[in-house]
Amino acid sequence: IGIKHLVVQTDELQNPEYTSNRADRCYHCKDTLYRELRSLADSLGLEAILDGTQVDDLSDDRPGFRAAQEAGVRSPLLIASFSKTDVREAARMLGLSVWDKPAMPCLSSRITHGEEVTTDKLGMIGQAELYVKELTGVRNLRVRYGNSSARIEVAPEERKLFFDEAMMDQIDRALKQLGFMTVTLDLKGYSRRERTPAADPLLLPMASLSH
């Protein structure tokens, strides 16, 4: 669409406020990002920094939004009262190929609060999600990490893709080879609300589901 892209490199994993993975982790990520963007904007003689926050984002706890407000970042979609559905429809009408692309939050959001964010854990999660997507064809997927365990969440309408014994065994073996101690499937399906794997009655080990 004729927009020039400049890639800004940040290294949140060097910030203990980020890697400690408290509930305000996203604040420290965005704070770092907006500082870098402000420096870039100033060097280019630009005044405004914009983000893609929209109305539906306000229904979640968003520490990153506080960082945006502190940095003076403007949110045109929010000002125009656009919802996620509105954004997708506008993108579709403009002919953008990514108009229905599933949301993809950062991999750190998969790690249970209080557990340290590390490069190794992020690598395990990324490889696990790529493997499961390629094997099953699911579009909406989260592999949650907690206490060395993987909790697989997919959209409710995609749960049926896992109802295959050989596939479940294959996923169980593959993710354990990546370093996960146990692999579970969340029977309720994807949810934004975090749950503790050990305390959730709707989780079943992948291996036991196939026997």
H-helix or E-strand spanning residue 178: helix 165-178
The DSSP code for 45 is: T
3-state secondary structure of 198: helix
What pLDDT shows up at residue 207? 59
CB 186 within 8 A of CB 151: yes
What pLDDT shows up at residue 59? 75
Tens-level pLDDT at each residue, the chain (211 residues): 688 899 999 999 999 999 999 999 999 999 999 999 999 999 999 999 999 999 998 877 788 899 999 999 999 999 999 999 999 999 999 999 999 988 888 999 999 999 999 999 999 999 999 999 999 999 999 999 999 999 999 999 999 999 899 999 999 999 999 999 999 999 998 876 544 444 444 555 665 555 5
Q: What is the pTM of this model?
A: 0.83
Sole residue written with tokens 């065994």: 169
Q: Is 140 exposed, middle or buried (0-12, 13-18, 19+ CB in 10 A)?
A: middle
